[in-house]
Each structure stands twice: as structure tokens, then as C-alpha cells.
Amino acid sequence: MVRLSWSGFRERWQLFVGAILSVAVGVALVQASLQIMAAAGDPPIPEGLDPLEEAQIRDNYDGAATLMGIAMVIAAFLAIFIVSSTFAFAVAQRRRDLALLRVLGARRRQLRRLLLCEGVLLGLCGAALGFPVGFAAVRIQRWLLTELEFLPDGFATPWAGWHTAVAAGTGLVVALLGVLAASRRAAKVRPLEALLDTGRAGRMMTLPRWIFGLLMLASSVGLFTAARSEGADTDVAVATSMGLAITGGLALSMLSPLVVPLAGRVLGLLGAVSAVGRLAEANLRDGVRRSAATAAPLIVLVALLLGLAGSLGSLAVAAGEEQQQMIDGDLIVESTGARTEKLASLDGVAVVSSQISVPMIVTITVDIGDPEELEEEVFSSGIVAVEPDAYRRTHRQEALAGSLDELSGSAIAVTTSPGYRVDLGTTVTARVLEQVSEREFSPTVVAVLPETLSGSDGILVPMDLFTPEERANWPAHAVVQLEPHADPDQVVEAIRSADLGVTRSVEEWASAQTAEQQDENVGVLVVLMGLSGLYAAMAVVNAVVISSAERKREFATARVTGLTRQQVVRSALIEAWAVTAIGVCLGGVIVAGTMTGIAGGIERTLGAAVVDVPWELAGAVAGGAFVVITVATWASVRAATRIAPIALVSARE
């Protein structure tokens, strides 16, 4: 059986190239991610850092490790997806051979084993190829993470044997999981099919596909309804809509054998004027396996990438909008503690609220809903010292419990979160982390503030807890209200000439914050989704190459019927473009659902439906998909039509 697997594998290596490469990339990524995670899990912390810097470095390392963990899981899942669709093709192509084996006395179990053996071979090849690629991958990921400032320059990621062992094992498991469904399908091939001239292609919509597809569709409808429901605020809407991007993409990709031909019919009504165009349209509807296999990864990619980018982007825009709504001021000055305190003395300035970032670690014991267990939440950023009175005059924000009026002395105001509850009167531990003034104290919670989208200024402490000397060099921003008749330009000029900081309008400041958040989003998306994009491209190229090779005889028949080679290529290209358009549009439907859901949540929270549709990214994805598919189709159809058609038409299998 192993020999039969091996010979089948060798005979059809072109069919498996895509799958081997995707396993290899998966293995390489797992190895690289493990290497980085292992190094970041026990990172070298430079000597002589103060505790706050150390905490932030550890945070970054944790972020890098989390990101790598997610990337690893995505890589493994996508590799399974590609391997399974490759083997689905392989089984479809070989039904006759498999049926013949049954005629010759093979048991169902033996066919299953045959396919599983091929899966193992594929996994081994992928692992062998992935091992050297892993060393390149670790460089690329280290570079990316350094660019994104998760890792410091010169971060070392030593290699250990177990990284490779785990990666290779993952490769094997991925290949076996990928081949599992195909092996079951192979075992169902009836021996009679060996005798029938036209091998009946297996059904595309198998029962598990129906079940999983409809389940995902039902979840998507549920999530969309939840996102649009009255009670859904921005958090709920974003969470459900991001879920919708995943389930919706999976649903349409599972149901693609139904949906894609249907969309092809709609497209056919629009176009198909020439004979070549009509042939392409007929082929699109006829070659369901082919069109579905090409469109499915595109649907998932568009839904996931644009859905997530749109969600995160909208959240950032909404956070900016919320800041603008919340801040009641004319100018924002970014500066240091000492200099913002001088702003009040300038002509034309009515109110100044300084928010000074305190280098402090706050540990709060919170109620997570379990009476038996209390949990400690540790905060090391977003802790600001404020003058309560000035803060309240410049911020339209009501405490959920308690009051900011009481924020003086040993007091603290904290922001609530969906994950836990903080009660008034709770005593927290606060540790100031500056070498000159390191100390610890225990303020009491006097106010619980509503959660904000931006998550900034999450914890407020009274200004008078710190001496002016301490506050002097801490970074700060101040909200400035002007006198009714003051000239803003004069005030800005006065601030500039007194060197008290960088002045911006509230709107400018909020959008700068939004842009910063979005840059960070883009970085994270690049790491995670760049990977998915790579896999989607591999899956699409894989489907195109396999199906073109499969269509040699069909192309030859078209040519002996009178089409030129150019017309055959053009017809295949038109078909491929139509499939691309369908894939992108169907993915777009999911993205539209996601954005609608988010828009509703944001509108309910802020009273305005601000969303950020990632048009540029959408353009790049669609353009990239068209380029990749065009090149792959052109090259593979050229290759499939190289031989004189008559040789193929008259040849026997």
C-alpha cells in the first residue's frame, strides 16, 4: 500500500506541489513562531531598567508571543484547508483508479489507508522542505516584530531541536487532518465507476459540507441580528460583527458550490456576448468544483481581512469621535507636567485641565462574578493625575457610581470593564515607579467611570498625591478652554512662544490618536493577515493550476472544434476573472454585513454611525487577487495547451 501511495504520489506530484508548499510554509511558520515565543517567554531584560520600563518591555514580549501564537494557529488551519481541498481534487481526479482498485479486490479500509499514506508522504515532504525555510521565516518575523516595536533591536532567537520536532509533527498532523475527509470520500467510490465511461464526479455538496455550511450561515444570521439589536452597544456590535466576518466567510466558502454558479448565472445575464465569452460562462457553471475551489479562499480572505480591518478601523474612528464628544475644550496642549501647569496664567485661557501620565502600577482586586474568587487586575498605563474640578469642567463624563468630586487625598477613580466589576470603597495598591520617588500607597475607589472606546485615561488619581517636583517631567496633555472673546490664534501663538508645548485643536488631536491606533492595527493585521493572504494566494494558484492540468483534453477538444489557442486562453481568463469577481463580491457581502453591524453599535453608543470602510485595502486585495489569478491562469492554460490538440483528443487514458 505504501508503494502504491508512493507511485501515485510521484505520478501526480504536480497535483501535490501546492499542498506540499503550504505544509512547508506552515511548518516553517510554526518553527519560527516557536523560536520567537520561546525566546520571548524568557526574555533577556537589560540591567538597570526601572520597574515601569521593565513592565512595559515584558508587556511587549507578551504581545509578540501572543501574536506568534495566533499566527501559528492561523497557519496550521489554513494549511489544513489547502491540503484538504487538494486531496478533494486528487480524489475527484482519480475516481476511476480508486474504483479499479475496488474491482481488483481492495477493501474500503485499504483505499482509506492509501490516501492516508499519501497524506503522510505529503506531510514528510512538507516538513523536510519547511525546515530550512523556517530559518528564513524566523528572520522575517523577527524583523516584522522589531518594526512593530514588539521586540527590541538585536533580539536573539536561539534554535533548539524541539522547535523543529514540534513543527515537523504539526506538519504531519496537518497533512493527515487535511486528507481525512478525502480518504473517507475515496472509500465511498463504488467499484462500478471503473467500468463506466464517464466517471461520475462525486457530489460537491456532501452532507458534512451542508451541515457545516448551514450551521455557519445560521450563526452568521444570528450574529448579524445580535449586532443590530437594540441592546448592542459598540463593544457588543464589534465583537459580534468580527465573529460574523469569520462565520460568514466560512459559510459562503462551504456553500460555494451552490453560491458561485448562482452568481455566475447572474453575471452571465450581464455579459457573455461573444462566443468565447459564452463558452467561459458555460464553463464557469459547469466546472463547479473548479470555480468553487478558486472562489472559496477569496471569499474567506476578503471577509476576514476586510472585515477585521474594517472593524478595528471603525473602532479607532469611533474612539476618536467619542474623544471629541467627551472633551469640552478648545485646544489640546501636549507637553510635560510642569509646563502644562503654566498654561492657566496665559491671557485668554479660562480653564486648564492637565492630565499627567503617572509612572505607576495599580493593582486592583476585582470581582469577576465568582463569589469564591477575586482576581487581581494590574494596570501600568493610562493612569493620569488630574485636578478633579478642572477635569469635570472639561470632560462630559458622568461617573457610574460615586463622584469625581471626592477625588482628593488617598482616592482613585477607575473605569469599568465588561470582564469584571469594581465596587466603590475598594482599596487598591498603587506603586509609584520612579527611582527618586518610589513609594507605595493604598487609595480607595471613590468613582467608577463608564468604559470608553479608546481606553485611554482609564484610571484617575488626584494631582495632590504628587509633589510639583515629581510631576514636573512626566508627560502630560492639557485640555484648554478659552475665554469667550479670546482669539485662539493669539493663545496658540502665546503657548508657542512661551514654549509650553504642542497645540492642536480637539479634532486634530483626536484624529491623530485615531491614526496612531490605526497604524498599530495595520501592523498587527500585516503580521496575521499577511499570512492568510499568502495562504489564500497559494490556495487559489493551487486550484487554478490543478484544474488547468485537468482540462488538457477539454482545451484540446475546444481547439479541434475551431478555437485558436489564444481563444482558449482568453476563454479561460474570462472564466477566471468572473470567478474572481464573484469571490470578491461574495466576500464583500460579508464585509458589508460586518460594517452594517458595527455602524449600528457605534450609532447607539455615540449617536452617529461613523465607520471606516477600508477602501484602499479592498482595492489592494481585489487587485492582488486579479493579478495572481490572471498570471496563474495564463501560465497554466498556456502549459496545458502546449501539446498539439489532436494528440490529446485521440489519446486514450
Least distance to another protein from the beta carbon of 22, Å? 23
Least distance to another protein from the beta carbon of 111, Å? 10
Residue 497 cell numbers, joined: 512662544
The stretch among 3-11, 297-305, 325-333, 591-599 that binds another protein (CB under 8 A) is 3-11
Residue 278 binds another protein (CB under 8 A)? no
Least distance to another protein from the beta carbon of 182, Å? 18
Q: Single out the residue of 2, 195, 214, 620 in contact with another protein (rule: CB under 8 A).
A: 195
Element (H, E) at 333: strand 331-336
Least distance to another protein from the beta carbon of 552, Å? 14
Exposure string (b/e) for 481-504, b if CB count within 10 Å is 16 or more? Answer: bbeeebeeeebbebbeeeebbebb
415 bridge partner residues: 449
Q: Contact, 355 vs 476, CB < 8 A? A: yes
Residue 642 binds another protein (CB under 8 A)? no
Contacts for 569 with CB less than 8 Å, ≥ 6 apart:
634, 637, 638, 641
Residue 3 binds another protein (CB under 8 A)? yes
Q: What is the total count of residues that contact another protein (CB under 8 A)?
A: 27
Residue 648 binds another protein (CB under 8 A)? no
Measured from the CB atom, the residue of 94 and 604 that comes closer to another protein is 94
Least distance to another protein from the beta carbon of 642, Å? 18
The stretch among 185-193, 237-245, 328-336, 376-384 that binds another protein (CB under 8 A) is 185-193
Q: Single out the residue of 168, 174, 194, 407 in contact with another protein (rule: CB under 8 A).
A: 194
Quote the distance between the C-alpha of residue 21 and its chain's center: 22
Residue 652 binds another protein (CB under 8 A)? yes
Q: Of 93-112, which residues contact another protein (CB under 8 A)?
A: 96-97, 100-108, 110
431 bridge partner residues: 361, 440
Residue 119 binds another protein (CB under 8 A)? no
Q: Single out the residue of 51, 69, 169, 191 in contact with another protein (rule: CB under 8 A).
A: 191
Q: CA-CA distances (angstroms) from residue 374 to 244, 365, 380, 446, 597?
A: 33, 6, 20, 20, 34
Helix (H, G, I), strand (E, B) or coil at 483: coil
Q: Of 317-346, which residues contact another protein (CB under 8 A)?
A: none
Helix (H, G, I), strand (E, B) or coil at 440: strand
Residue 421 cell numbers, joined: 466589576
Residue position matching grid coordinates 496545458: 640
Measured from the CB atom, the residue of 13 and 143 that comes closer to another protein is 13
Least distance to another protein from the beta carbon of 634, Å? 28
Q: Contact, 118 vs 224, CB < 8 A? A: no
Residue position matching grid coordinates 508657542: 496
By the 10 Å C-beta count (0-12 exposed, 13-18 middle, 19+ buried), 170 is classed as buried
Residue type, 647: A
Least distance to another protein from the beta carbon of 547, Å? 19
Measured from the CB atom, the residue of 188 and 421 that comes closer to another protein is 188
Residue type, 231: G
Q: Single out the residue of 42, 370, 499, 653 in contact with another protein (rule: CB under 8 A).
A: 653
> Is the Cα torsion angle 248, 254, 260, 261 positive or negative in sign?
negative
Residue 650 binds another protein (CB under 8 A)? no
φ, ψ (nearest 5 deg) of residue 47: -65, 155
Measured from the CB atom, the residue of 107 and 496 that comes closer to another protein is 107
Residue 591 CA to residue 96 CA, distance in Å, equals 41
Residue 433 cell numbers, joined: 515607579
Residue 230 binds another protein (CB under 8 A)? no
Residue 11 binds another protein (CB under 8 A)? yes
In the stretch 12-51, what mask flags binding to another protein with x, by CB under 8 A? x---------------------------------------
Measured from the CB atom, the residue of 98 and 216 that comes closer to another protein is 98
Least distance to another protein from the beta carbon of 3, Å? 8
Measured from the CB atom, the residue of 103 and 176 that comes closer to another protein is 103
Measured from the CB atom, the residue of 194 and 244 that comes closer to another protein is 194
Least distance to another protein from the beta carbon of 196, Å? 9
| One-letter-per-residue 3-state SS of 38-93 | HHHHCCCCCCCCCHHHHHHHHHHHHHHHHHHHHHHHHHHHHHHHHHHHHHHHHHHH
Which parts of this chain interact with another protein (CB under 8 A)?
3-4, 7-8, 10-12, 96-97, 100-108, 110, 190-192, 194-195, 197, 652-653
